[in-house]
Amino acid sequence: MKRILIVDDEPDFRFSAGIALRRAGYSTEAVADGAEALNLIQSEKERSLFDLLLVDIQMPCLSGAELIDELRKRAIDTPVLIVSGFADATLQDEFLKKGCTAFLAKPFEFQVLVRRVDEILKTRHSAAIPD
Amino acid sequence: MSSREAKAILLGEDEGNVRKNSDKSVASQYAPLSRVSVQEGYMETQGKYNEKERSELRILMLGNAADCAETVQHELRQNNIAFVSEVVDTLESFVKALQEFSPDVVVSDYLLPAFDGLAALALVREQTSDTPFILVADAGGGLAVEFFKEGATDSVLKSRLGQLPAVFQRAVSDRDERRGRGRAEKEQKRLAEAVGTITEGVAIISSELTIEYVNHGLCRMTGYTSEELLGKSIGIMMGNGRDAGCDTVWERAAAGNVWAGRFSYKRKDGIHIIHETTVSSLRDGSGTLTGYVAVSRDVSHEERLERQLRQAQKMEALNTLCGGVAHYFNNILAVIIGFTELVADHVEKGGRDEGHLRRVMEASIRGREMVRQLLAFSRKAEQKKLLFLSTMVKETARLLRATAPTAIRIRVRTAGESGPILGDPTQISQIFMNLCTNAVHAMREKGGVLDIEVSDFSVSPSSENDHGMEPGLYAKLVVRDTGIGIEPGIIDRIFDPFFTTKQVGEGIGLGLFVVHGIVKQSNGYITVESEPGRGSTFTVYLPVGER
């Protein structure tokens, strides 16, 4: 089962997105900011990596952008799907340049989110086959 | 100094014999007089050369007149006049003395051994136009007339040398007076030239408020010639008192205060300018008001920049607010939408609850649309780039063709574009999308033609235009539909926020408000023409490559 880490400071979003993704067959965990996410990812490193990070941009401790920089520094290349209330083309470009896999502007319907997550993980899976 | 040095410049009457006379008792600081001391004395005062500060009368005697030197000196001493004198008798030494000794008065005979008196006079007039030249004449000498014709100042009979001191003094004081007058005239001329040259407009206004004097700057500013302004009421400059508080200008100035303010003014050529004017009162010696002086400066450019700055600051505040609200609102909507979906998974399909939840969902989607429009405002200036409207319009048309009903024909015409505009791509496409969405909506029942045109448009400084457009180059966007049109009664309100003719769920009344806001933020203009049943035309002007 694919594991998804939800990184968002909004508890209601963490909670509801978690339900929606689990109903779609994923296993989820959730943290409230980038710092917690980084700790969890590092402690998990020995066991199994998350398959996808669902990351908000604006968070109190270690923002979305900072988290991505930290991950890249540590050579962790887990795919990142940015979910943000800032629906802005320039911002989107900026994050995609940073190496994020996709950008989804809040608010969205969960069926859209699930479809996007499916796409990313499928893409990654099929791309991984030749290796 | 040695006499040999003196000989070099001061040739006496007897060859090689320098005679230099000085009244030691009066002008003791120059005694013994030497070439050096004369020169130094002159040098010292050169910088602040002023007749009144020179206490000694400097007398240059020529040729035979030198015979009278003893008598002259005696007379001067008798009259307590301090003096320094020099005697020369060759042309060369005379020329030199004129320059170096710088005499206050030249005394000459008719005939000199080496050259004649008339030649000496001509030299004096040539070199120092106003140095008094006194002729020592023999009794009944008819030649004196000729000397006066050539500019001699006065003459004294050889037999009446006693008159010389009085003649000297009169000649010198006449000269000083002339010089003083000349200086005052020169100063006045300089002042008039300065006032004439400055770019500020200067007007002198009578106490009856008619214009008595205008400088070139004011003519340039108003577009009128000085002939057109002189004698006119100052209202020609200050809008005939239409400006609020105009009467108090004169009252305040008359009370002794300097009044300063700004006036909006229409030049002769129709160009509107803003001038900043200070008015102060003019009074005669007794303090009676004789008029006013007004100094004006064209501040149209500053005014424009200030207005733009104020507008930018206002927009900046609105941006921050919209951006912040939008972000929070999006997060809230995400929660509403999310949980609604989660509940919907468990309600009976086709049941009443599912319908209710769909309503919640639809309302949330409307909220999302509203936030999307608001976000168009909260864009930072850094996101601006140079954009070609024609390119963007084609892209918008492609999107529209994909979604609009087939009964609507979309035509794009791009006829020359002066240059790229500086704008935020998201904002600019928001303008296209909102205008075109409305146009499509207006034609959705009967179909029609949507024309999108991009062309260039230039506003020259002198051209009259209804929108008060700033001069410059613009990219012009026209969005024309053949739809239902806008009722005249509501056309003034279409740009107001939350004004809409659409049904609930079709629009929220922010589209044109946002278009208007973006256009204003970009220092552009928007106009609308519409005829009910025939269609509407929106025209947007965006400045080319500004800032």
B267-319 residue pLDDT tens: 888 788 888 889 889 998 888 889 999 999 998 888 888 877 887 777 777 77
CA distance to A7, A61, B77, per residue, from A30 (Å): 6, 15, 118
Is there a contact between A87 and B426 if contact means CB atoms under 8 Å apart? Answer: no
Distance in angstroms (rounded) separating the CA atoms of residues B191 and B255: 27
Range of the domain at B256: 198-298
B373 and B386 co-located in one domain: no
pLDDT at B136 over 90: no
pLDDT, mean of residues B367-380 = 75
CA–CA min distance B383, chain A (Å): 7
From B330, B375, B379, residue closest to A107, measured CB to CB:
B330
CATH 3.90.480.20 fits A3-128, yes or no: no
Q: Structural domain tally of chain B?
A: 4
Q: What is the pLDDT of residue B122?
A: 84
pLDDT of A32 reads 93
pLDDT score at B34: 30
**The whole model's pTM is what?**
0.50
pLDDT band at A130 (very low <50, low <70, confident <90, very high): very low
Among A20-34, B74-88, B118-132, top mean pLDDT goes to A20-34
pLDDT given for residue B2 in this prediction: 39
Whether the pLDDT of residue A47 is over 70: the answer is: no
Assess whether pLDDT exceeds 70 at residue B524. Answer: yes
Residue B190: how many CA atoms within 13 Å on its side-chain side?
6
Q: Are residues B374 and B391 in the same domain?
A: no
User: Phi, psi at residue B327, to the nearest 5°?
Assistant: -60, -50
Shared-domain flag, residues B372 and B391:
no
B379/A69 Cα distance (integer angstroms): 25
Round to whole Å and give the CA distance between B157 and B113: 20
% of chain A beyond a pLDDT of 70: 89
- Same structural domain, B402 and B544: yes
Asked whether residue B147 falls in the same domain as residue B7, the answer is: yes
Q: Which of A16, A19, A58, A92 is best to mutate for the B interface (most B CBs within 10 A)?
A: A16
Structural domain boundaries in chain A:
3-128
What's the CATH number where B272 sits?
3.30.450.20
> What pLDDT is attached to residue B496?
82
Interval B137-165 mean pLDDT? 77
Q: How far apart are CA B267 and CA B246, in angstroms?
A: 18
Query: Given a cut of 50, is residue A56 above it in pLDDT?
Result: yes
Task: Single out the residue of A130, A129, A103 nearest to residue A116, CA to CA.
Answer: A103
User: What end-to-end distance do the CA atoms of chain B give, in Å?
Assistant: 74
Mean pLDDT across B352-357: 92
Please tell me whether residues B538 and B420 are part of one structural domain.
yes
- B242 and B349 part of one domain: no
Q: Which pLDDT belongs to residue B391?
A: 85
Residue where a domain terminates, one of B278, B298, B318: B298
Do residues B172 and B213 share a domain?
no
CATH of the domain at B338: 1.10.287.130
Quote the minimal CA–CA distance from A59 to chain B in Å.
12
Q: Which runs of E-coded beta strand occur in chain A?
A: 3-7, 27-31, 52-55, 80-84, 102-105
Question: Which residues in chain A are contacts of B361 at CB distance < 8 A?
Answer: 109
pLDDT for B382-408, tens place per residue? 567 888 888 888 888 888 888 888 899
- Cβ atoms of B323 and B375 within 8 Å: the answer is yes
**Which residues does chain B have within 8 Å of residue A20's beta carbon, measured at their own beta carbons?**
338, 341-342
Q: Which of A92-101, B14-23, B304-313 has the lowest mean pLDDT?
A: B14-23
Q: For the purposes of burial, counting CB atoms within 10 Å of the CB of B408, is it exposed (0-12), middle (13-18) or buried (19 or more)?
A: buried
Same-domain pairing of B157 and B202:
no
Can you give the pLDDT at residue B109? 76
Per-residue pLDDT tens over the stretch B316-332: 777 778 778 888 888 89
Distant-in-sequence, close-in-space partners of A3: CB < 8 Å, separation ≥ 6:
A26, A27, A28, A29, A48, A50, A51, A52
Our measurement of the distance from residue B440's CA atom to the centroid of its chain's CA atoms, rounded to an integer in Å, reads: 51
3-state DSSP helix/strand/coil % of chain B, to nearest 5 = 45, 25, 30
